[in-house]
Amino acid sequence: MHATANASRKVSCKPSRLSRHISSALRVRRRALPLNAALLGTLLSAGVAQADISDDTVKIGYLADMSGTYRDLAGPGGLDALKMAVEDFGGSVNGKPIEVLSADDRNSADVGANTVRGWIDQQNIDMVGGLVASSVSIAVTRILAEQDTLGIVSGSAASSITNEHCTPNHIHWVYDTYPLANGTAKAIVDEGGDSWFLLTADYAFGHALEGDVEKVVTENGGTIVGKIRHPFPTSDFSSYILQAQGSGAKIVGLANAGSDTVNALTTASQFGLVQSGQSLAGLLIFLNDVHALGLNVAQGLQLTTGWYWDLNEETRAWSQRYYERNERMPTMVQAGIYSSTLHYLNAVAATDSDDTATVRAKMGETPVNDMFAKNGIIRADGRMVHDMYLVKVKSPSESTGEWDVYDVIRTIPGQEAYRPLADSQCALVKGQG
């Protein structure tokens, strides 16, 4: 730690970090001399006068599913994207090194929360990135708020993360269920798909997506004729697909993700659901899902995505670099992890601080302009608003290569895609337009 030589210089210290300085001193007390009031005052003064970048190191923790159902959409590839951002930034911030930690949350809210609590208490972590399963993200962001540490959620879909579960300590970067519902469901209803059966993953993300889709369908003149929730994760979708077939709905909407979506689509293909006159709507389909399914199964699916590797020259150039390291093209989540990490590091460099409030404010006042988003903005509720894309999965004859899977049908402007602040339940912005 370096005390400032200029008494007028504004310095900051997170309360949690200051408490750790005091806790360390108290532990020393047990095996040394009694800790008197003067010594305690000295320690407090030293804590308040610490350098703006604590521990002279910027520490980033990457937390995600590294081995389960969400492995391919974020997982090790997301960690590599984060490391690419650190490398592209130069490996240090204003001469202070950047350290990256990582852990597998195993899609468990308890594991995720305990991991982050340990990082904060023992590693003095500055920012937690990744964050995929919505249940994990909601649990972790509560810890971050309690401990005044910053988090950037790149993989979770639940719109509640910046709605009723918003905090001043986290940002939601890539997408959420609100634009997925508005992009995909509204387009399908407008095309005549006005009766729906919803097959939903039974946890926070699935519930949020189900609710958003139901709202969009009914507001646009459609009906929900049935819905059923399945455990997360699920390998056997036979009974669920049979119920969907028996519902008579024109559209079977899949409010799930990852291997659950792949398994559901594969089962639907085996049961001839499309051949029987029904259509499938993939409400959260990732590039890796389409690649795993193959175009023979996935062709014709309409979906909304926050990013695609083949959008333009800039996305293609970055994706080629990623491909050379991972032998696969990046998902929107992996691209978002790169983007959010760079934006964070730029804010730390600009403020010469890793203080949560300082960095969060700088990130919010700085537009996001990179290979992921143009003129993206971070709102007071923590939602990073950027353009979304309605795409259609190509047929095998339309594709020119292994990863050439989407036709971009239209761009959905960010201000149209995301929940208006006027409708927000976030305590930080409630009642604002």
Q: Which two tokens stand for residue 107?
A: 């899609």
Q: 2 in a domain, yes or no?
A: no
CA distance 267 to 382: 38
Is residue 194 classed as helix, strand or coil in its secondary structure? coil
Q: Which two tokens stand for residue 350?
A: 């600009």
Bigger pLDDT: 362 vs 43: 362
As a whole-number percent, the residues of the chain with pLDDT over 70 amount to 87
What confidence score (pLDDT) does residue 284 get?
A: 87
Q: 7 in a domain, yes or no?
A: no
Lowest mean pLDDT among 19-33, 65-79, 386-400: 19-33
What confidence score (pLDDT) does residue 258 get?
A: 79
What are 332-358's pLDDT values in tens digits?
999 999 999 999 999 999 999 999 999
What are 281-290's pLDDT values in tens digits?
988 889 999 9
Q: Does residue 291 share a domain with residue 403?
A: yes
- pLDDT exceeds cutoff 80 at 18: no
Q: Does residue 273 share a domain with residue 400?
A: yes
Q: 347 in a domain, yes or no?
A: yes
Q: 80 in a domain, yes or no?
A: yes
Q: Does residue 79 share a domain with residue 28?
A: no
Q: 5, 30, 50 — which closes off a domain? A: 50
Residue with tokens 């962001």: 141
Q: Does residue 196 share a domain with residue 115?
A: no
Whether 130 and 154 have beta carbons less than 8 Å apart is answered as yes
Please give the helix or strand (H or E) that residue 282 lies within, else none. Answer: strand 279-282
DSSP per-residue codes, 208-262:
HHHHHHHHHHHHTT-EEEEEEEE-SS-S--HHHHHHHHHHT-SEEEEE--THHHH
Please give the helix or strand (H or E) that residue 302 lies within, else none. Answer: strand 302-305
Residues ≥6 apart with Cβ < 8 Å to 389: 183, 304, 305, 306, 307, 308, 311, 408, 409, 410, 411, 412
DSSP 422: G
Q: 69 in a domain, yes or no?
A: yes
Q: Does residue 162 share a domain with residue 113?
A: yes
What confidence score (pLDDT) does residue 432 get?
A: 54
Q: Does residue 215 share a domain with residue 281?
A: yes
> Which candidate, 248, 333, 318, places its Cα nearest to that of 287?
333
Q: Does residue 376 share a domain with residue 316?
A: yes
Q: 122 in a domain, yes or no?
A: yes
Q: Which two tokens stand for residue 358?
A: 């300082």
What confidence score (pLDDT) does residue 430 get?
A: 64
Whether 60 and 30 have beta carbons less than 8 Å apart is answered as no
Bigger pLDDT: 10 vs 187: 187
Q: 6 in a domain, yes or no?
A: no
Q: Does residue 191 share a domain with residue 219?
A: yes
Q: Does residue 260 share a domain with residue 204?
A: yes
Lowest mean pLDDT among 177-181, 240-244, 417-421: 177-181
What confidence score (pLDDT) does residue 3 get?
A: 35
- pLDDT exceeds cutoff 90 at 191: no
User: pLDDT band at residue 122, thresholds of 50, 70 and 90?
Assistant: very high
What confidence score (pLDDT) does residue 31 get?
A: 31
Q: 5, 24, 50 — which closes off a domain? A: 50
> Which candidate, 13, 152, 175, 39, places its Cα nearest to that of 85?
152
pTM for this prediction: 0.82
Q: What are phi and psi of 420, to 5 degrees?
A: -65, 145
Specify whether the backbone of 383 is left (phi greater than 0), alpha (psi in -120 to 50) or beta: beta
Chain-centroid distance of CA 345 in Å reads 17
Whether 338 and 82 have beta carbons less than 8 Å apart is answered as yes
Q: 120 in a domain, yes or no?
A: yes
Q: Does residue 119 share a domain with residue 32?
A: no
As a whole-number percent, the residues of the chain with pLDDT over 90 amount to 73
CA distance 267 to 68: 20
How many domains, the chain?
3
CA distance 392 to 405: 8
Lowest mean pLDDT among 52-56, 102-106, 379-383: 52-56
What are 71-82's pLDDT values in tens digits?
999 999 999 999
Please give the helix or strand (H or E) that residue 364 lies within, else none. Answer: helix 356-365
**Hey, what's the torsion of the CAs at 66, 70, 76, 77, to 10 degrees?**
180
What are 149-185's pLDDT values in tens digits?
999 999 998 899 999 999 999 999 999 989 988 888 9
Q: Does residue 259 share a domain with residue 229?
A: yes
CA distance 405 to 394: 5
What confidence score (pLDDT) does residue 361 get?
A: 97
Q: Does residue 96 share a domain with residue 25?
A: no
CA distance 299 to 279: 12
Sign of CA pseudo-dihedral 340, 341, 347, 353: positive
Residue 282's CATH number: 3.40.50.2300
Domain containing residue 30: 15-50
DSSP 411: E
Query: Helix H segments across 31-176?
Result: 37-48, 75-89, 109-118, 134-147
Bigger pLDDT: 144 vs 292: 144
